[in-house]
Amino acid sequence: MSHYSLVKIKIKNVNENVLKQAIQELCKQEGFQVVNQIVDFYGHPRTDFLIGIKNRDYPRGVGIKLENGQITLVGDFYNTYGEEVIADKISQYYTVQALKVGLKKIGYNPRVVKNGEKVLIHAFAV
């Protein structure tokens, strides 16, 4: 049976600008596109989220909500790779982006290198 699911990501005090930057990078690297509407299996639309993404693996889309510093994903994950996979990707991209922003604030020039599933951040003094 198809339905919308809500999935909380365990990151606290999420910054909205950093989240948006992370989602843009996720889209660029993983072949997602930003959308304003997602649908369930039956085509019922939903727009109550901050930013939406979709790709071939998540054709109905995934909505990303941010409420009180907590990320919640909303989507119909029936017949996709599942909510855990996309939640892990968003967590990874957010963490990398937050580290980059933090390193820049203290005077470093961070460079991100992706090696398969691993992400390396090199920080050079400016």
Q: How far apart are the first and last CA of the chain?
A: 54
Q: Where are the alpha helices (DSSP H) in 1-126?
A: 16-30, 83-105
- For residue 55, give every residue at least 6 positions away whose Cβ sits within 8 Å of its Cβ, in sequence order, or none: 30, 31, 32, 33
pTM over 0.95: no
Phi-psi region of 57 (alpha: psi -120 to 50; beta: other; left: phi over 0): alpha
**Under 8 Å between Cβ of 120 and 112:** yes
What pLDDT shows up at residue 1? 54
User: pLDDT at position 117, please?
Assistant: 77
Encode the chain (126 residues) as per-residue pLDDT tens digits: 567 889 999 998 999 999 999 999 999 999 999 999 999 989 999 999 999 999 999 999 999 999 999 999 999 998 888 899 999 999 999 999 999 999 999 999 999 888 887 888 988 888
CATH number corresponding to 5-98: 3.30.310
Q: For 23-52, what is the HEC assignment?
A: HHHHHHHHCCEEECCEECCCCCEECCCCEE
pLDDT tens digits, one per residue of 81-117: 889 999 999 999 999 999 999 999 999 999 988 888 7
